[in-house]
Amino acid sequence: MDDVQVVEGAHAQGACTPEIKPCRRCGSTDISPGRARKRDWLCRACVRAYDDANPEKARARWARKDAKRVADGRNRIRLAKYFATADGVASRMRGGHGFSWEDSITLAKVVKDPETRCWSCGVPLHVIQRMKFSFPVPFKRTHRSLHVDHVRHDLPRNDLRAVRPACAYCNMLRQREAFSPQEVLTTVSEWWRYMRAPRFLYWLNTSPGVGGRAHRNETIEKRMAALRPEVVS
Higher pLDDT, 216 or 92: 92
Averaged over 212-224, what is the pLDDT?
A: 75
Q: With 0-12 CB in 10 A as exposed, 13-18 as middle and 19+ as buried, what is 206?
A: exposed
Between CA 110 and CA 114 the distance in angstroms is 9
* Confidence label for 129 from pLDDT (cuts 50, 70 and 90): confident
Record the pTM. Answer: 0.62
Provide the pLDDT for residue 12: 44
Averaged over 66-76, what is the pLDDT?
A: 83
Mean pLDDT for the chain overall: 79
Residue 73 neighbours by CB distance under 10 Å:
10
Between CA 74 and CA 68 the distance in angstroms is 10
Averaged over 203-208, what is the pLDDT?
A: 89
State yes or no: pLDDT of 81 exceeds 70: yes
Higher pLDDT, 13 or 91: 91
**3-state DSSP assignment of residue 150:** strand
Per-residue burial over 86-104, b if 16 or more Cβ lie within 10 Å, else e, is: bebbbeebbeebebeeebb
State yes or no: pLDDT of 115 exceeds 50: yes
State yes or no: pLDDT of 178 exceeds 50: yes
State yes or no: pLDDT of 4 exceeds 60: no
Q: With 0-12 CB in 10 A as exposed, 13-18 as middle and 19+ as buried, what is 32?
A: middle
Higher pLDDT, 177 or 123: 123
Provide the pLDDT for residue 20: 73
State yes or no: pLDDT of 190 exceeds 90: yes
Residue 223 neighbours by CB distance under 10 Å:
11
State yes or no: pLDDT of 11 exceeds 70: no
